[in-house]
Structure 1
Amino acid sequence: MPAREKLQEQVNILREQLEQDPPLPLEKRQALEALLAKFELQLELEPATQPPSISDDVNRAVEGFELDHPGIAATLRNIVVTLGNIGI
């Protein structure tokens, strides 16, 4: 599976987890939704024009979800790997 398709699949999984997981504090939910919006923008851009900061944003999000929402954190880690495979 090409990396872009894998990223889209992981974004979809993350959206499902956001809907299914126990309620998140508003601040965390908004941060995760903003991150999802960035991923979707990434999918539309050419790799050469993509900002490298998205990986840093995802790594910070992993730290924020690791303890209370390990499923979301695992999906975010997969996204970091996929972004690396894309060259971001």
Structure 2
Amino acid sequence: MPARLQQHLQQLSEELSGDTPLDTEDRAALLELMQQIDLKLARELAGDPDASLVDGVNLAVESFESQHPTLTGTLRNILQSLANMGI
């Protein structure tokens, strides 16, 4: 996994572990998204592309955009890293 993407995922993890005001359902959804990114990225790198990876991150951006701008910024950084990888 590229270092930049790893850094963004670590930042998201830290934000979720901190005092970010999220309800249990939203926090669980973001944690699941992080797991999906890890799994699907491994498949992408193995040559089995999955278009839903970027779609899932885009949905999370739309969902958290108005109430959680810091998380949204981190998710957008993840999207940019994936785009830079050609995903």
Fold similarity call, TM over 0.5: yes
Task: Tell me the equivalent position of 2:17.
Answer: 19
Residue 80 of structure 2 is matched in structure 1 by 81
What is the TM-score with the length of structure 2 in the denominator? 0.86
For structure 1, the residue ranges without an aligned partner over 5 or more in a row are none
**Partner of 2:2: helix, strand, or coil?**
helix
- Listed as ranges, the gaps of 5+ residues in structure 2 are none
C-alpha distance 40-70 of structure 1, shift in aligned 2 (>3 A): same
Question: Which AA in structure 1 matches 2:59?
Answer: R
Q: Provide runs of 4+ in structure 1 moved above 6 Å.
A: none
Q: Which residue in the other structure is 2:26 paired with? A: 28
Q: C-alpha root-mean-square deviation of aligned residues, in Å?
A: 1.7
Residues 34-73 of structure 1 aligned to structure 2 (within 5 Å): 34-45=32-43, 46=45, 48-73=47-72
**Count of residue correspondences:** 86
Residue range with higher mean Cα deviation, 43-52 or 67-76: 43-52
CA–CA separation in structure 1 for the residues paired with 2:74 and 2:47: 24
**For each residue in 1:11-54, what CA deviation from the matched residue of structure 2 results, as whole angstroms up to 9, or x when unmatched?**
00000011113331111111100101012224433163231211
Provide the identity percentage: 41
One-letter code aligned to 1:34: E
Give the secondary structure class of the aligned counterpart of 1:14: helix
Report the TM-score when normalising by structure 1: 0.85
